[in-house]
Amino acid sequence: MKLHAVVDLQFGSTGKGLLAGYLTRKNHYDTAISANSTQAGHTYVETQNGKRYEWIARHLPIAAALPSVKQVLSGPGAMIEPAVLEAECAIFEQQRIELGRGQLPEILIHENAGIILQYHQEEERATMAGVGSTMKGVGAALVQKIRRNRHLPNIAAHALHEFGPVRVVKHRDYLACMANAREAILEGSQGYSLGINSGFYPYTTSRECTVTQLMSDALVPFDAAAGARVYGVARTYPIRVANRTDIDPTSSSGPCYPDQVEMSWDELGQTPEVTTVTKKTRRVFSFSPTQITQAIYANGVDSVFLNFVNYLRSVDQLDDIVDAIDSTGADVEWIGLGPSVDDVVALREFDIDSYFRRVA
């Protein structure tokens, strides 16, 4: 299997979905692999025949929107909320059919994927606001899985009825489908600096956010993992999710790196962003060379997609960030100038001076 992996190099919301869609259009993967949960979302935007299509995914990999993908594998590390998955599938299929891409490919969920129930979310709302959690129940459900509660061992045993192209499959069948993949894209969620062991504990998510963790959660075989090409995604101005002071006055989603500062959206001259899942206003920070160096090292990144270049106002700003990334040994291969796949541009083909003269 030829494997490409997409990982986030900051605190999330860098544009992984946008790059995943771009790469799938370019490389025509037959398999999309993930182990996503509901506390983070990916967005992909494309325009066809003058109409804008926006794909927002929490469980599905964005590559499922593209016609080349014949199977989607959701690994045992995924934590599934059945209603979210079903709604997502309905929207994806509706838009695929409208675009002439037919029905969704097979979506195969490993039998040991976890399941999120309402009481998991209630538990997190009662206990997790202080660290800026999205409170979607993922951590609580993961704890229960780790405890090996025999009354709720996995998704195959509870609450997910199969619908449309979605099937829960046995371990051996999941591995057989993995073995049949020729070219695959592996999509991660959240960001490196949110990893539970990557420096910001307890202001983190419930697991690591590295490519090695993702490969483990999805049961990617070692030979494919060792030969994978890793694409890292970064923003010019990284974000963190909102402090949940609406629930806990002392809430904080966490600090930042020593070489970056928290900024305001007014300083950037940009409309405040809100998170895909909670719809709360994001916190925004200056670019950190320390963060990007650690993330590229930890993930073995080959190429970088630098997104939100449209937030910059000068060539010098872009040059400083590109130099910081290049110094790690990874190359900035593409830049993002907006929300759509048509806004992804190869850096070597980009007329930097002309662009910034237009936006000055």
Q: From the centroid of its chain, how far is CA 336?
A: 16
pTM for the structure as a whole: 0.92
DSSP track, 190-210? S-GGGSTTTT-TTSS-SS--S
Strand partners, 232: 7, 304
Q: From the centroid of its chain, how far is CA 132?
A: 18
| Residue-range domain boundaries for the chain | 2-359
Q: What is the DSSP letter of 349?
A: G
pLDDT value, residue 45: 96
Residue 185, pLDDT above cutoff 70: yes
pLDDT value, residue 73: 98
Residue 132, pLDDT above cutoff 70: no
Residue 160, pLDDT above cutoff 70: no
Residue 216, pLDDT above cutoff 70: yes
Residues 277/56, Cβ–Cβ less than 8 Å: no
Average pLDDT, the chain: 91
User: Quick one: average pLDDT of 307-334?
Assistant: 97
pLDDT value, residue 155: 57
What DSSP element (H or E) covers 34?
Answer: strand 31-34
CB atoms within 10 A of CB 13: 28
Q: Which of 13, 74, 193, 198 is catalytic?
A: 13
- The H-assigned helical ranges of 16-77 are 16-27
Give the tens place of pLDDT for each residue, 27-57: 999 999 999 888 778 899 999 989 999 999 9
Q: Does domain 2-359 have CATH number 3.40.440.10?
A: yes
pLDDT value, residue 158: 52
Q: Which residue has the higher pLDDT, 341 or 155?
A: 341
DSSP-derived pairing of the beta strands 2-8 and 183-187:
parallel
User: Quick one: average pLDDT of 1-21?
Assistant: 96
* Nearest Cα to Cα of residue 78 among 177, 148, 145: 145
Q: Is 288 a catalytic residue?
A: no
Residue 154, pLDDT above cutoff 60: no
Give the tens place of pLDDT for each residue, 284-299: 999 999 999 999 999 9
Give the tens place of pLDDT for each residue, 63-111: 999 999 999 999 999 988 888 899 999 999 999 999 999 999 999 999 9
Q: Give the C-alpha distances (Å, rounded to integers) separating 132 from 67, 207, 316.
A: 37, 15, 34
110/147 Cα distance (integer angstroms): 19
